[in-house]
Structures are given as structure tokens and as C-alpha cells.
Amino acid sequence: MPPNTLFSTPARLTAPAAVKLPRQILVLTGLIYILAGLFFRDPWKTDDVVSLATMLTAINDGSLKAWLLPQVGHLAYAEAGPFTTWIGALSISLLAPVFTLFTSELNAAIIASRMPNLLWFGLLCVGLWRASYWLGRRPEAQPVRLPFGGEPSITDYGRMIADATLLLTLATVGIIWRMHETSEVPALIGFQAIVIYSLVRMFQRPGSGAALLGLTLGVCFLTRGIVGASPILLASVLSIAFVQPLQKHAKWLALSLAIATAIVMAWWIPAQRIGPYWTQQWLLWNLQSVAWVGFAALLNSLRDLAWFLWPTWPLTLLAIWQWRAWVRAPHLLLPLIFLGSSFSSLLFIQGSFEPEYSLLVLPCALLGAFALPTLRRGIVNALDWFAIMCFSLTAATVWLGWIAQQTGWPSKIAHNIARQTQGYDTFISIPAILIALVGTAAWILLVRWRLSVRPAGLLRGTVLSAGGLITTWLLLVTLWMPSLDYVRSYRSVSADLAQALRTHQQAGECLRAEGVGSGQRASFLVFEQINLSFDRRCSLVLQQVSLRDLQRQQVAPLAANADILWQGKREADRHEAFLLIRLPKPH
């Protein structure tokens, strides 16, 4: 680390630029972010509805096996881990009876299953804000002392870094949908934030920090298994080995690992006894997921990450470059280790996609926040203008598409939307329009504030980015949620299948699946309690086929003289269809 750190860092900042962002604005921004789109919609395939199905199976089955080992009806869902199933099932058990006073039993369960998302988001906000605050207060991170004074205080600077980190996280495009789904991903992001905070806490309080670290690492393992926990565990070990304030506390790592191991074994030992098949499949899924993916797959991931991590990744690269001489400083090295560990996992996890990409968001946001005080005023202003133009355009696009759907103008856009939502009857929801108008007005006021007041605060760009993304998201989940539900929900086709079964299923006759995906299987279970069997002796078969093959009459018959009792699909779906078939009785 260069000498005279306090006088030679690349950060240059005046006290007015580190002005405090009102806490009410930060809290309100977070609440709008997590509440918009969380409720009043159907679960969508795959992860969203599968996780809900495991929760409902645990409640309806009631057995210890169904609680310890996630299942989708008769299907052993041996992926990820049981922790989010436990928390979601408990939430449904406790809160769904209250929600049934206002809505149907199914909708009450759906709402209750998403209440834990508030907890995961809270962990994310608290853990990330506290970690970045204390990293921002470290002497190595402080801005250059000005010749005549006027630089921000240590507290103000740390608070500005923490606010910027949180706002950059909220402005990241890739996780906004994932944070609203019922799956292990939002929980894992929240736990990663707590792990980072635990390590920062160990700087001064190694005992409590190590205990919190061990607890969180154990829960990470129960949330997404080896695939999800390995990058976080590796980053934790490397941080203790190489981050200077943690090296002297390395002995506390034994406590962390002991606590984590005890938590995992408390689940694994009874799980292995109760469901050896499930645990074998779970271990197999984890081990098969780990393998060298090759550079072609890495290039695909880099292409996806360009939009997934927008707009934080350019700031991340700037931070690494601007602080390159301080690479061993804790405020840079700690997030760099988490970034490197999560990125390296993309090389060794088969089929890496959004769940794996999500672990890159927090370290990118943390590094990006430290880039802000190193930027020149012209660059900061350019970023402000880019955020204004970009998100004004996305908000206008959402409105234009909605107008085209409702009025038929512009005709080309209306035609494309109608093709994607074939069979959908448009309608206008007055409450949704009012919320969308309020959100649009808030964005216009935010832009006007930036252009007319010209605030000196360095956070203005991150406020604009977060506010713009949240505005676009709010417009999507108000104006477009009915259409999205129509296109992506399996509620209607599940009802059609249930009606066909009431008509054709005979007493004692079971139904098995043929080629039905886990998301579709979970949807039929959630919406109509249709539990598909694996028994080959079942004479009723639900077969999932390609719609193109069905239209061309190229679907291979399951048996000669089999009767097709029903066929159906989602109205807007152009790819898949379902056949209910009765097989002839064997002679």
C-alpha cells in the first residue's frame, strides 16, 4: 500500500458532495423496490412456482420427510436446499389463514409464500449498508485532504459510500425480477450481504463476527447447496487469508467452520436416514453441476453479464483502475475477492445463469461506490444525463406499448403485442393506472430536481439510476401485469386439465406424467392440486408435447389405440401443448 494513504488516494471530494441523503428517501426507495411486483400476480415457471410447490407439499403432506426434503408432490426436488422451503412453509402456515379473510385460499397461500422476500431484502439492505459503511470509514479509503480543508468527515464519507452501494444494488437491472420471486436466489443474495458484513465486523469484533459468519455460511449451504455456498465460502476463507485486518484473527475461522458444519450436519444426518434416495440425488446434482465449462460458455456468460450487471460494471472497472495502487487495502481487496470468487464459479458450474450471476451484484456495487469519489465532475454529469435519457426512454416505451395494446396505435407495435398475447382481452384497471401515473410523475420530479436544483451531492447519479429502474419496474408491474400473468401463468390451463380429469378420470385411476417439465408439474399442483404420479401402471397419462409437432401430427403415440381425451395449452403459448391420454388395458 502506498505511503501517506490519507494524502494520496485517488478519491477527491468536498463536504457538500457528501451531503447526507435523507433516510426517509432511502427507506421509501427500498420499500417501493421490493413491494412493487411482489404481490397480486401468479407464480411463474420455473423457480418461482417450483419453490411454492415445495412449500405447499410440505404443508399438505405434513410428514417429516416432506419438510426435510423438498418435494413437488411425488417428485423429489433434489436441487438447491430446504431452507427457503422451511421459511416459506412456515410463513404460509402462519399468515395464509389471515389473508384468507380477504382473498381465496390459493391466493392467500401465494401472498404468504412471498412474505419472506421482505426478510431476504431486509438482510440485503442492512448487511450491505453496514459493511460498506465501515469499509468507507477506514483510513485507506478516505479522500485526499484539501489544502484549506473542506473534505467530508469520516462519518459523512462512510455514509455516502454506504448509500451509494445500496442504491447501485437497487439500480442493477439483472436482479430486480429475481428479488421478487419465491426461490432461493433472493435469500442467497441476502446471506451474501450478511457474510460480507460478518467479515467486516471481524476487523474489530472477531468473536461475534466469526459466529455470525459461521451461522450464515451454514444457512447458505442449506439454501443452495454446494453450488451456491462454494463461492461465498471460498471468498470468506480467502478474505481471512489475505485481507490484512483479518489475518490476525485467522484462528476464529475454526469457530466459523465448526458452526457452519454443525448446522449442515443437523440437517444432513436425519435427511440421509429418512430419504437416502433424495440425498443421493441431491449430492449427484451438486457434483454434476461442477465441471469445467469451457471458454465458449464463459463468453456467453460475459455477454449476459453486460446487461445483467448494468449499470454497475463500468463503475466497477473504473474503481479497479483508479484504486489499482491500493489493491491490498481492505475496502478494495475484500469486494475484489468476492467478485473473483463468484466470477470464477462461472467457469466451473454447468449451465451458469442468473442464480450464479446474482452473486456478482453486491461486490460490483461495493466497488462501484468507491469509484464515484474518483470521477471528475464532467464524467459524473455525463452519467447523470445518461441515466435520465436511458430510463426516460424505457418508461416511455412501457407507456407506448400499453397505449398500443389498448388503442391499436401504433399499429405495428400493437400487432406484435397481439401476436404475443393471442386471445387476451384487454381491460383498463383504474388503480393500476393511477399508481403508474404517480410513479411517472415522481420520475419527472426527480429529473426536474436534477436539472433545476443542480445538486452538488455525488449521490445524485445513483439516485437517478435507482429511481429510473424502479420507475420502469413499477410501470411494468402495474400496466403490464395482467398481460404478463396471461402469458406466463398456468392457472387457466390447469383449470382446463382439472375439468377434463373430473369428466374422464375413473374412481381409483391414477395419472402419470410423460415429458412434463418440473415447472409445469409444479404449476398443476399449485393451481389445481393435480399430483402427477411416476407409476407406469397408470392408465391415464398427461403428455407434454411440442405444439409444432402436434399441429403437424408428428407426435409419437404412447401406445397403439390410445385415446386422446383432452388437449390444451396456454392461449398465448406457441411452443408447448398437453395431451390427456388413456392407454388401452393390457390383454
Residue 1's pLDDT band (cuts 50, 70, 90): very low
Average pLDDT, the chain: 94
**Amino acid making up residue 3:** P
pLDDT of 549 higher than 90? no
Residue 40: is it exposed, middle or buried by C-beta count within 10 angstroms (0-12/13-18/19+)? middle
Query: CA–CA separation, 277 vs 279, rounded Å?
Result: 6
Q: Grid coordinates 475484489 are at which residue?
A: 336
Neighbours of 405 (CB within 10 A): 19
**Amino acid making up residue 57:** T
| Contact (Cβ atoms closer than 8 angstroms) between residue 290 and residue 350 | yes
Residue 34's pLDDT band (cuts 50, 70, 90): very high
Nearest to 256 by CA among 210, 196, 311: 210
pLDDT of residue 457: 87
Residue 561's pLDDT band (cuts 50, 70, 90): confident
pLDDT tens digits, one per residue of 517-546 = 999 999 999 999 999 999 989 999 999 999
In a 13 Å sphere around the CA of 5, the CA atoms on its Cβ side amount to 15
Query: CA–CA separation, 340 vs 347, rounded Å?
Result: 11
**Amino acid making up residue 455:** P
Contact residues for 543 (Cβ-Cβ < 8 A; gap 6+) = 513, 514, 515, 516, 555, 558, 578, 579, 581
pLDDT of 38 higher than 80? yes
Residue 587's pLDDT band (cuts 50, 70, 90): low
pLDDT tens digits, one per residue of 460-503 = 999 999 999 999 999 999 999 999 999 999 999 999 999 999 99
| Contact (Cβ atoms closer than 8 angstroms) between residue 249 and residue 238 | no
What is the rounded radius of gyration, in angstroms, for the C-alpha atoms of the chain?
A: 26
What is the edge-to-edge ordering of all strands in the sheet holding 576-582?
511-514, 540-546, 576-582, 563-568
Q: Which three cell numbers stand for residue 479?
A: 400496466
Query: CA–CA separation, 51 vs 586, rounded Å?
Result: 38
Q: Which three cell numbers stand for residue 47?
A: 423457480
Residues facing residue 580 across a β-bridge? 542, 566
Query: CA–CA separation, 444 vs 585, rounded Å?
Result: 68
pLDDT tens digits, one per residue of 300-354 = 999 999 999 999 999 999 999 999 999 999 999 999 999 999 999 999 999 899 9
CB neighbour burial string for 56-95, b if at least 16 within 10 angstroms, e if fewer: bbbbeeeeebbbbbbbbbebbbbbbbbbbbbbbbbbbeeb
Mean pLDDT, to the nearest integer, of 103-112? 97
pLDDT tens digits, one per residue of 175-209 = 999 999 999 999 999 999 999 999 999 999 999 99
Mean pLDDT, to the nearest integer, of 55-74? 95
Q: Which three cell numbers stand for residue 550?
A: 402436434
Terminal Cα-to-Cα distance of the chain (whole angstroms):
83
Nearest to 263 by CA among 216, 328, 303, 229: 216
pLDDT of residue 251: 96
> Cα-Cα-Cα-Cα dihedral of 443, 447, 453, 459, to 10°?
80
| Contact (Cβ atoms closer than 8 angstroms) between residue 488 and residue 518 | no
pLDDT tens digits, one per residue of 117-155 = 999 999 999 999 999 999 999 999 999 988 877 899 999
pLDDT of 9 higher than 50? yes
pTM over cut 0.75: yes
Query: CA–CA separation, 298 vs 305, rounded Å?
Result: 10
Nearest to 315 by CA among 126, 443, 161, 129: 161
pLDDT of residue 355: 94
Residues facing residue 513 across a β-bridge? 542
Query: CA–CA separation, 253 vs 237, rounded Å?
Result: 8
Please report, rounded to a whole number, the percentage of residues in the chain having pLDDT higher than 70.
98
Contact residues for 433 (Cβ-Cβ < 8 A; gap 6+) = 478, 479
pLDDT of residue 5: 45
Contact residues for 147 (Cβ-Cβ < 8 A; gap 6+) = none
Report which secondary-structure segment, H or E, holds 323: none
Secondary structure string (H, E, C) spanning 223-270: HHHHHHHHHHHHHHHHHHHHCHHHHCCHHHHHHHHHHHHHHHHHHHHH
Query: CA–CA separation, 247 vs 436, rounded Å?
Result: 51
pLDDT of 6 higher than 70? no
| Contact (Cβ atoms closer than 8 angstroms) between residue 529 and residue 57 | no
Q: Grid coordinates 489475505 are at which residue?
A: 242
pLDDT of 3 higher than 60? no
Q: Grid coordinates 405434513 are at which residue?
A: 62
pLDDT tens digits, one per residue of 370-421 = 999 999 988 999 999 999 999 999 999 999 999 999 999 999 999 999 999 9
Please report, rounded to a whole number, the percentage of residues in the chain having pLDDT higher than 90.
85
pLDDT tens digits, one per residue of 434-466 = 999 999 999 999 999 999 988 888 999 999 999
